[in-house]
Chain A
């Protein structure tokens, strides 16, 4: 079983390596443009205080990881389950099909982590001087990154197994856009105090716990959700989307 699992993983790694440059552009261009506009232009021109750079950076990392993980799993899953059912060869591999789903999640996690690793220094560099990052608890930061990566790829699996090819555009505008804009990526959760209803409502958005969590790990000097809330949110949404994703995958795979 382990052999089959790693063979499936190496197939995904092989395909990802082959598409490395387009994949990198697809997932990183948008966060890097945001970094440049908000973190460089607006701060250098004085429309935003310099401190905003540090506040923004964890949100951007969360965003990059989330986009990378979701796209890395959802897009191939959607196309592989279409007319051609390309995935069937892997469904017929001698392994429980739930493990094929787990492998998809695992492959997405790796891509999300790579995206985070690339964006962190790139964004830091792009923003120029004035970024005050700290890594007071590297293990906490590492665990958080793993949790965000798992969340992104399990959301990707859930979406990928629930959305048809013709609905990819809708998926971006109806699910991903609100998730990003109400995900506390560009502002801390406490900034919503003046919008009490919205502040409560965004708590159903898993993105909130990702950006607030990374904020608590990288820039603890800014307001952020308490650790218990971050941990609770990430555990809850990871459990939800991993089980939902695997369930949806099974439903798609077995007729």
Chain B
């Protein structure tokens, strides 16, 4: 059975180290820092989420897309009971996450951004104990573990401690572990970061398969291709807010013209920008930085000669031309003025 996910005006303000650094908390600061004492000294308010409202349909593969620090991991943290929201509420199915943590935990599987495998155990034991935490019977545990190890190509290392595993193997095992109790909702926080292209394809295939079984899947990513390829709908998140929401196709269609031609021109005059915007097929021209111009248009390459002629006619010189096809990257750029990789 698939479950919906909803959030309502989620807000999260971290008063100590933000989540990306959370794992390392306790390294800095005074010895035996009771947090009460140290928090006063190094109090830093970081607004990670600011009024984030979302609804993910049952059985949907949903992407949270945004740059580092946009609030993606915090959103997943709140939905998976690991982060306490400062304000707002979230639901998995009918259960309000913060109030019904145990039954929510029973329904979700989580693949963290960085593998957090139990280093004291072997790969197989990690799956078996995970199954045991969820009350799966011993025989069933064994057979599920065997199937997953096989599926994720880990069988030959199954009985080794995971300390010596490569990053990709750990990531695969993390995903296998999250699927061990067959959760109705699967959260993947940047699942393909650090994976080689081959393993990434394997992962995508497995995620698609899992989704096809009617499970709800939420994944965060800053990889356009991943969102485009996997997700039915995408929310673009920046500074803790949703700035655009829809299917990848629908979102791409909202970028004026779809194609983006980035020019570097010197000297750049308002008259020249005006002239560029009158070229056939151009929908919008925006100045960027000291000498850049972003030209949104319904075509890419074929438009370049005309644009260059207009620049030359104005007595200016073009030092760089960059053409991008309609993509979520352009969409993000359009909404925030920043590249996703910034």
> Which of A18, A94, A175, A251 neighbours the largest number of chain B CB atoms within 10 Å of its CB?
A94
A91 and B82: CB pair below 8 A?
yes
Contact between chains at A4 and B134 (CB < 8 Å)? yes
Given contacts A167-B31, A171-B32, whether A85 and B134 have CB atoms under 8 Å apart is no
Query: How far is it, in angstroms, between the C-alpha of A180 and the C-alpha of B115 when the chains are bound?
Result: 39
B319 within 8 A of partner (CB): no
Q: How far is the CA of A228 from the CA of B129 in the complex (A)?
A: 44
A81 at interface by CB-CB < 8 Å: yes
Bound-state Cα–Cα, A19 to B108, Å: 32
Q: How far is the CA of A92 from the CA of B23 in the complex (A)?
A: 16
A45: chain B residues at CB < 8 Å are none
Q: By DSSP majority rule, is chain A's interface helix, strand, loop, or mixed?
A: helix
How far is it, in angstroms, between the C-alpha of A11 and the C-alpha of B132 when the chains are bound? 9
Residue B284, interface by CB 8 Å: no
Report whether A89 and B130 are in contact in the complex, using a CB–CB cutoff of 8 Å.
Answer: yes
B26 at the interface (CB under 8 A from A): yes
Q: Is the CB of B101 within 8 A of A4?
A: no
User: B139 within 8 Å of A by Cβ?
Assistant: no
CA distance in complex: A3, B138 (Å): 12
Q: Taking the complex as formed, is A146 at the interface, i.e. its CB lies under 8 A from any CB of chain B? A: no
Q: Is the CB of B84 within 8 A of A166?
A: no
Q: Quick one: closest B residue to A83, CB to CB?
A: B23
B280 interface residue, CB < 8 Å from A?
no
Distance (Å) between the CB of A80 and the closest chain B CB? 8
By a CB distance below 8 angstroms, the chain A residues around B35 are 251
10 cross-chain CB contacts under 8 A = A83-B24, A85-B112, A92-B105, A94-B106, A94-B135, A163-B31, A165-B27, A167-B32, A251-B35, A253-B82
Closest 6 CB pairs of A and B: A164-B26, A7-B132, A93-B133, A94-B106, A15-B120, A88-B116
Residues of B within 8 A of A (CB): 14, 19, 22-27, 29, 31-35, 77, 80-84, 101-103, 105-106, 108, 110, 112, 114-121, 125-126, 129-130, 132-135, 177
Given A88-B112, A89-B118, 7 new contacts (CB under 8 A): A11-B132, A82-B23, A83-B114, A89-B117, A92-B82, A174-B31, A255-B83
